Amino acid sequence: MQLATKIRHARTSLAHRRTVRLAHRQLSAELATFTSAADRAELDQILERHTDAETREIRAILVRQQA
């Protein structure tokens, strides 16, 4: 693989990682607004409609926020 290709790949990879981290921070901030017991109960009901694989990231964020 040529150097230019490696550099382009590295830049693309870094840009993707930045995008993923930004999306994660935004999701965390949005989930932090669910503060009351009623909010959390409603969110839990919504999450129960989906598979564990689909809600894994959200549930992990919620667990970290409760700690």
Dihedral (CA of 20, 66, 31, 52) sign: positive
Is 80 exceeded by the pLDDT of residue 1?
Answer: no
Q: Place 47 in a pLDDT band, splitting at 50, 70 and 90.
A: very high
Q: Place 66 in a pLDDT band, splitting at 50, 70 and 90.
A: confident
Cα 18 to Cα 33, 42, 47, distances in angstroms? 23, 31, 26
What proportion of the chain, given as a percentage, has pLDDT over 70? 100
C-alpha atoms less than 13 angstroms from C-alpha of 9 in its C-beta half-sphere: 6
Q: How many domains does the chain have?
A: 1
Q: Assess contact for 57 and 21: CB atoms under 8 A.
A: no
Range of the domain at 36: 3-66
Q: How far apart are CA 11 and CA 4, in angstroms?
A: 11
